[in-house]
Amino acid sequence: MAEQFTKSMARNIYYGGGFFFFLLLIGLTVDTMLDLPKRDHRENITIAVAQGKKHWEDNNCIGCHSLLGEGAYFAPELGNVFQRRGGGDEETFKQFLISWMGVQPLPIPGRRKMPQFHLSKQEINELAEFLIWTSRINNNDWPPNIEG
Amino acid sequence: MKYTSQQVAKPYFVFALILFVGQILFGLAMGAQYISGDFLFPYIPFNVARMVHTNLLIVWLLFGFMGAAYYLVPEESNTELHSPLLARISFWVFAAAGVATILGYLLVPYSRLAEITYNDLLPTMGREFLEQPTITKIGIVIVCLAFVYNIGMTILKGRKTVINMVLITGLIGLAVFFLFSFYNPSNLVLDKYFWWWVVHLWVEGVWELILGAILAFVLIKVTGVDREVIEKWLYVVIALALISGLIGMGHHYYWIGPGKYWLWMGSIFSALEPVPFFMMVMFAFKVVKQRRHEHKNQVATLWALGTAVMAFLGAGIWGFIHTLAPVNYYTHGSQLTAAHGHLAFFGAYAMIVMTIISYAMPILRGRPQGNPRTAQRLEKFAFWTMCISMIGITLALTAAGAGQIALQRLPEAGKALSFMNTQEKLIPFYWVREVFGLVFFVGLIAYLSSFFVGKTDKLANA
Ligand code: HEM
Ligand code: HEM
C-alpha cells in the first residue's frame, strides 16, 4: 500500500465506515418494519396460526425442509405447499395434511423418510393454518415455480 | 509462551478438536441418508443428525475462538490473564452444557426435549442453527459474558494493541448479536428478519473481526514483520468487511418478506463482500514474502496462508456466485447454498481455528519452535487432504445444485420435475460428495495423529 496511506487513516475508515453503515442498517430496518404489515398480513395471524408455528418449531420441521428457501435441503420447500398440494383451497389442503402426516413414514425402501410425529387432528389443522398464512406473504414471488 | 496463564487455552483446543470429529461423523451419516433414506432411520432421523452436525460445528468454533483469545490476549497485553480460574470454570460449564444438549438431541424426540426444558416459558427452539433449548442458550450467554469479562479485564490492565482491540470488539459483537436468538415472535417474517442478525452478523460481520485478529497475530509471530504494517492491513480488511457486510445482509432479505429495495441494496453491497477476503489473501502472501525470520513451525504458516485462500474461495467466490438477486432467485435454498456454506465455514472459521492451534499448541506443549519434523510432515499431509477433499465436496454440491436448478427451478410449471424426483437424479453427485467426505475424514484422522508422532525425534528447536 502507498506510503501516504497511514495506519490512522485505515483506522478512521474502520470506525467511521463501521459506524455509518451500522446506522444505515438501523435506518433501513426501521423503514422495513413500517412497511412489513402491508406485506406479511399480520392481521391474519390468528391463535391457530401462532400455534401452528409453535408445532412447526417444536417438531423441528426445518431440520429437513426449507421454508421460504431457508432451512434444510433434504425435503420439499413448504412455503408454497398450500398451492402445490392444496391447489390453493384451504379445505383440500387441510385434508391432505391430515392424511399425509398420518401415513408417515412411507414404507418405500430407500426413499427419504419423514418421521411419524403423532400429532392430533387439531395440531395438524393449526400447522395447516400456519403454512397457509406463510404462503400468502408477499415475498417478491419466490419460488420460481410450483415445485419450490 | 510468555505467561503461564496462557495454558488455560489448551483444554479449549483439545475439546474443540474432539467435537470436530463428532461433527464430521454426523455429516457422513447425513451424506449417506441423502443416498439411501433408510440409513439409521428411525433411530437418527435426518433433522437430528443435522442439528448435531451444525451445532457441534458452531460450538467447536466457539471453543476454538475462546482458546485463541486465552492464548493470544495475555501475550499481546503483556500481562497474565485476569482470572485463569474463571476461564477453567467456564470451560467445564460450557463443555457440560454442550454435551448435555447434544445428548438431548440424540436421546429424546425433539418435541419432548422442548417440553422437558420448558420451551413454552420462552420459546426459542426449532429454528435453523438455533435449535438449542432456551436453557442452553442462557448458558451460552453466561459463558460468553464470563469470557468477555475475563478477556476485557486482561486487556484493560495491559497493552491495548490493535489486535487486542479488534478481537475484543468481535467477541463483544458475538455476544451481543447472539441475544437476538431470544427474539422469536409468532410473525414468521419478523422471526426470519432478526434470525439473520445472529447468523449473518456473525459470519459476515463480527466473526470476520475475530478471524482477522487471529490471522494477524499468527502472521506477526511466524514472519516477524513489523506490527505497524500488519495492523494497517488489519484495519483495511475489517473496515471493508463491515462496510460491505452490514448492508450486504440484504442478500438474505430478497425472498422472505421485506420490501423490493433490498433486492438491489443487497446485491450491490454483498457483491463487494468478496473484496476484504481478497485483501486478506494479498496481505497474507505479502507479509510472508517479507518475513524477517524462518520460523521452524512451517506448517503454521501454511495454515495461515491456506485460511486466507480458502476463505476467499468459499466466502468470496462461492458467495458471489449466488449473491445477485436475479441469480439468487433460482439458487436460493438449493444444494448450491450448501456448497457455499461448507467451503466458507471450513475455509474461514474451521481453518483459522486450526491455524492458531497449529501455532499455539506446540508452544503450550513446550516446543517453542514447532513440532518435530515428522509431525509437521503429517500435519501438512492432513492440511492438503482436508483442503482438497473439501473442495471436492464443494464441487460435487455445486454440480448437484446446478442440476437441481436446471431440472426443478428453470422449467415452467408442468415441465419442471418435482423436488423428490429431482433429488433422485442427483444421487451420483451425492456419492461423489460422500467419497470426498470420507477422504476428509482420513485427513482429519491424520491431523489428530500428528499430535502424537515424532516424540522420539530430535525436537525441531533442539
Ligand atoms: C466431511 C464430510 C461432511 C459431510 C458429508 C457433510 C454433510 C452435510 C449435510 C448432508 C448437510 C445438510 C444439508 C441439508 O440441509 O440438506 C450439512 C450441513 C452443513 N454442514 Fe456439513 N458435511 C461435512 C463436513 C462439514 C464441514 C467440515 C463443515 C464446516 C467446517 C460443515 C458445515 C456445514 C454447515 C455450515 C451446514 C449447514 C449448511 C446450510 O444451512 O446451508 N460440514 N453437511
Ligand atoms: C466466512 C464467511 C461466510 C460464511 C461462513 C457463510 C456461510 C453461509 C451459510 C451457512 C449459508 C446458509 C444459510 C442458511 O442455512 O440459510 C449462507 C448463505 C448465503 N451466503 Fe454466505 N457465508 C459467508 C460469506 C458470504 C459472502 C462473502 C457472500 C457474498 C458474496 C455470501 C453469500 C451468501 C448468500 C447469497 C446466501 C444465501 C443463499 C440462499 O439464498 O440460499 N456469503 N452463507
Give, using CA atoms, the residue closest to atom 24 of ligand 2: B315
Residues B107, B52 contacting (CB under 8 angstroms): no
CA A134 to chain B, closest CA, distance in angstroms equals: 8
> Hey, is the C-beta of B44 within 8 angstroms of any chain A C-beta?
no
Pair (A73, A121) in one structural domain: yes
Quick check: is B171 in a domain? Answer: no
Same domain for A19 and A79? no
CA of B317 to the centre of ligand 2 (A): 11
Task: Indicate which residue's Cα is closest to atom 7 of ligand 2.
Answer: B341
Domain count, chain B: 1
3-state SS, residue A125: helix
A39, A58, A73 member nearest B259 (Cβ): A39
- Do residues A109 and A50 both lie within one domain? yes
Question: Are A30 and A88 within one domain?
Answer: no
Whether A3 shows a pLDDT value over 80: the answer reads no
Interchain CB distance below 8 Å, B232 and A69: no
Q: Is the pLDDT of residue B460 over 80?
A: no
Check A140 against B123: CB less than 8 A apart.
no
> Residue B458 pLDDT more than 70?
no
Residue A42 touches chain B, beta carbons under 8 Å:
yes
Residues A53 and A22 in one domain: no
What single DSSP character describes residue A139? Answer: -
pLDDT at A34 over 50: yes
Q: Which ligand is nearest to the CA of B445?
A: 1
Q: What pLDDT is recorded for position B461?
A: 47
Verify that A66 and A101 share a domain, yes or no.
Answer: yes
Residue A87 half-sphere exposure, CB side, CA atoms within 13 Å? Answer: 5
Ligand 2 pocket check for B226: Cβ under 6 Å: no
Residue B199 has pLDDT above 70, yes or no: yes
Among B191, B200, B203, B394, residue to substitute to test ligand 2 (most atoms within 8 Å of Cβ): B203
Model pLDDT for residues B298-328, shown as the tens digit of each residue: 999 999 999 999 999 999 999 999 999 999 9
State percent of chain B over pLDDT 70: 99
Q: Which amino acid is at A29?
A: T
How many other CB atoms are there within 10 angstroms of residue B373's CB atom? 15
Look at ligand 2, atom 31, and give the residue with the nearest C-alpha.
B319
Do A85 and A131 have their domain in common? yes
Interface check A21 vs B, CB under 8 A: yes
pTM of this structure:
0.97
pLDDT, mean of residues B123-145:
97
Q: State which residue of chain B sits closest to A69, comparing Cα positions.
A: B333
List CB contacts (< 8 A) between A146 and chain B.
Answer: 413, 416
What tens digit of pLDDT does each residue of B97-130 get? 999 999 999 999 999 999 999 999 999 999 999 9
CB contact under 8 A, A148 and B419: yes
**Range 67-106 of A in CB contact (< 8 A) with B:** 67-77, 105
The residue contributing the CA closest to ligand 2 atom 29 is: B319
Can you give the pLDDT at residue B130?
98
| B236 contacts A10? CB cut-off 8 A | yes
Reduce the DSSP state of residue A67 to 3 states and report it: strand
Q: Indicate which CATH number applies to the domain containing B259.
A: 1.20.210.10
Ligand at minimal distance from the CA of B268 is 2
Any domain includes B121: no
pLDDT for B348-393, tens place per residue? 999 999 999 999 999 999 999 899 999 999 999 999 999 999 999 9
Total number of domains in chain A = 2
Q: How close A121 comes to chain B (CA, Å)?
A: 17
A46 at B interface, C-beta within 8 A: no
Q: Classify residue B11: in a domain, yes or no.
A: no
Closest CB to A63 among B46, B411, B417: B46
List, for residues B414-452, the tens digit of each pLDDT value.
899 999 999 999 999 999 999 999 999 999 999 999 999
Owning domain of residue B343: 239-451
Do residue A17 and residue A5 come from a single domain? yes
Same domain, A72 and A84: yes
CATH number at residue A71: 1.10.760.10
Q: Does A126 lie in the same domain as A59? A: yes
**With a CB-CB cutoff of 8 Å, which residues 344-403 of chain B face chain A?**
none
* Nearest Cβ partner for B256 among A59, A70, A76: A70
Same domain membership, residue A36 and residue A47: no
User: What would the grid cell of residue B61 be?
Assistant: 468454533
Asked whether the predicted pLDDT for residue B462 surpasses 50, the reply is no
What is the whole-number distance in angstroms between the Cα of residue B333 and the centre of ligand 1? 14
Residue of B nearest to A1 (CA): B233
Q: Is the pLDDT of residue A2 over 80?
A: no
pLDDT at position B414 is 87
Q: Which of residues 291-310 of B touch A (CB under 8 A)?
A: none
B410 in A contact zone (CB under 8 Å): yes
Instruction: For residue B424, tell me if it sits in a domain.
Output: yes
What range defines the domain where residue A3 resides?
1-40
- C-alpha to C-alpha distance for B18 and B23, rounded to whole angstroms: 9
Cross-chain residue pair A112–B335, CB shorter than 8 Å: no
Question: Could you report the per-residue pLDDT of B391-404, keeping only the tens digit for each?
Answer: 999 999 999 999 99
Mutate to test the pocket of ligand 2, among B58, B198, B204 (most ligand atoms within 8 A of CB): B204
**Is B187 within the bounds of a domain?**
no
Contact list in A for residue B37 (CB cut-off 8 A) is 110-113
